[in-house]
Structure 1
Amino acid sequence: MTTATRWNTPATAPRTLRFGEHTVTWLPDGYVQLDPRRWLPGTTEEDWTGENAGLLDPEGFLAASIGALLIRHGDRAMLVDAGFGPRDVPAADTRPALGALVGGQLPAALDAVGVDPAAIELIAFSHLHGDHFGWALCPGRGLVSPFVNAVFAASAAEWATLPPSKRGPARIRTVADGEEIFPGVTARSTPGHTAGHTSYVLTSGGRRLIAFGDVFHTPAQLARPDWRVAVDALPEGAVAARRALLAELARPGTSAFANHFSDVVFGRLGENAGTPCWEPLEEFY
């Protein structure tokens, strides 16, 4: 895969970075196609020309990866989010703002990095949309969650949105803003996309990694945090969350994990002619 196509092609292989005493690994599960004009209804055709045209796949969609972030510390392991699950939904059966929706790769990705799902002790959800909780709460196809020993964590506001029928026998934990939920990992309230949306901040080795969930869906939003997202529950709050996160990303030693940024999911905030932009990290091992 060329550097250019990584910006408009879903991630298909795990990628691991070291952060001090921790390692973080992107685990792909699949992807969803986002119609840029419908997902970001305030944008124009001109907004998707020039550099932003390179974010669109051959069908004209944003190729948004779906997966999970594995965080390991010693012999302990947790996930941020849990993919979509073993389901493929054709474009005709998804929402108008979406194209195809594909999942199913997460167990193979865990196996590729030598981690047994039973060893995951905690899954912290950024929010409770199906492309973030699939393998944990309702895998589908008659399957049960492979994360048999994990506690499932989200904000109280987020749990309130999920019907009890989708929780099943899961062990539920509520997380609060500023709470350390795993060694070096702190919850940060970022409401907007949903009322209880939560980001997670890993601090280790003098560096920070912010897993920001769906605060941003595409690198194009870094330059235009004011663009509204069609499915944001609290549009004004979502704009405020994006602006606040940009300020956090500008702090020294800060990187981010962007679940939906095609195959450039790890990066930092850069600047191009005075405009914020995404600079992918390439420190994989």
Structure 2
Amino acid sequence: MAYPTTEQPPRPTGVRSLLLGDTKVSYVPDGEVRLRPREMFPDATDAAWAAHPGLLDASGSLVASIGGLLVEKDGRALLIDAGFGPRSLPPAPDGPRGAIHGGALLDHLARLGRRPEDIEAVAVTHLHPDHTGWAWHPAPGLGRPAFAHADHLVSEPEWAAHRTQTEPPETAGPAPRVRTVTDGQEIFPGVRVRVAAGHTLGHTEFVVSAGGRRLIAFGDALHSPIQVAHPEWSSAFDHDPVRAADHRRRLVAELAEPGTVGFGIHFADAVFGRAVPDGDHLTWRPTAA
């Protein structure tokens, strides 16, 4: 089944890995955020949420994970997204965001046998703080970000938009280490950039191809499995809701193609999966690790 039907809501999961030929991809958890579902998806209906109670916790919040994707091949290692970092925030007084915290990414990276120094580059889907945390913020005891040695790969349109904004110092980013990348560029063996604007001006997906299969790390193009069935639902965080929904429809169709796996960084305990037919629409089916 695409969604849980028990009264126990999903919780952010531990480390999970998949093999694509000789490439290993692993979800590296950092923390979680609880979201207010009606504020998060303004076009959603109460009936739709009632049909999928397993996506919400006892308080009615949407459970969302935060972390990164480790890509390993021939002894090399790339990290896609860097969690929220070693910090937490209470619920926002209004809007979609509930409580949010990070802090576990380095410990989980160690369980995968990797030190921060092993990561040759950190590629970010976009420059929101729940994706740049450990790359942007000083790590405890270090006085610098954990991946300060690594290149930070950001799409050209995302970095250009970022540079025109007035940012507080904590989110200004490690400009000397940023290297901009372009649509279609290979940034690691078998990993290519795909600019998919909508959520932000330069929001980026990363396509990992190996062993005759591909994995699409789609960042915040989708925030929840429920959007696979309802790709028309844009989130309150989408910069351009119409453009985001248009891309999401194409993405969901791709996730139903043979040999294709999706990685949803905010998909709680179902981060790897596919879109499968369910009546007159598609739904998310988790893929076993």
**d(CA) in 2 for partners of 1:108 and 1:95?**
32
Partner of 1:252: 258
**d(CA) in 2 for partners of 1:7 and 1:253?**
31
Partner of 1:281: 287
Partner of 1:37: 38
**d(CA) in 2 for partners of 1:99 and 1:217?**
15
Q: Contact conserved, 2:7 with 2:54, CA < 8 A, in 1? A: no
Partner of 2:187: 181
Structure 1 residues 169, 225: CA separation in 2 closer, same or farther (over 3 Å shift)? closer
Worse overlay, 7-16 or 34-43: 7-16
Give 1:243 shift: 1.0
Q: Contact conserved, 2:139 with 2:145, CA < 8 A, in 1? A: no
Partner of 2:29: 28
**d(CA) in 2 for partners of 1:137 and 1:28?**
17
**d(CA) in 2 for partners of 1:148 and 1:139?**
9
Give the residue type in structure 1 aligned to 2:20.
F
Structure 1 residues 259, 214: CA separation in 2 closer, same or farther (over 3 Å shift)? same
Q: Contact conserved, 1:94 with 1:101, CA < 8 A, in 2? A: no
- Given the two structures, how large is their TM-score scaled by the length of structure 1? 0.92
Partner of 1:115: 114
What do the CA deviations read for 1:1-22 (whole angstroms, capped 9, x no partner)? Answer: xx76798333241111111010
2:231 corresponds to which of 225, 232, 238: 225
Give 1:140 shift: 6.9
Question: Do structure 1's residue 9 and structure 2's residue 10 form an aligned pair?
Answer: yes
**d(CA) in 2 for partners of 1:121 and 1:170?**
15
Partner of 2:174: 168
RMSD: 1.9
Worse overlay, 104-113 or 246-255: 246-255
1:70-81 aligned within 5 A: 70-81=70-81
Give 1:179 shift: 0.8
Partner of 1:145: 145
Give 1:162 shift: 3.0
Partner of 2:131: 132
Question: Do structure 1's residue 199 and structure 2's residue 170 form an aligned pair?
Answer: no
Q: Contact conserved, 2:193 with 2:205, CA < 8 A, in 1? A: yes
Give the residue type in structure 2 aligned to 1:22.
T
3-state secondary structure, aligned to 2:65:
strand
Give 1:228 shift: 2.4
**d(CA) in 2 for partners of 1:17 and 1:101?**
27
Structure 1 unmatched ranges of 5 or more:
none
Partner of 2:61: 61
Structure 1 residues 155, 279: CA separation in 2 closer, same or farther (over 3 Å shift)? same
Give 1:156 shift: 1.3
Percent sequence identity is 45
Give the residue type in structure 1 aligned to 2:161.
T
What do the CA deviations read for 1:153-195 (whole angstroms, capped 9, x no partner)? Answer: 1111111233585223541111111111100001111110001
Give 1:145 shift: 1.1
- Given the two structures, how large is their TM-score scaled by the length of structure 2? 0.91
Structure 2 unmatched ranges of 5 or more:
none
Structure 1 residues 204, 95: CA separation in 2 closer, same or farther (over 3 Å shift)? farther
**d(CA) in 2 for partners of 1:139 and 1:48?**
39
Structure 1 residues 255, 94: CA separation in 2 closer, same or farther (over 3 Å shift)? farther
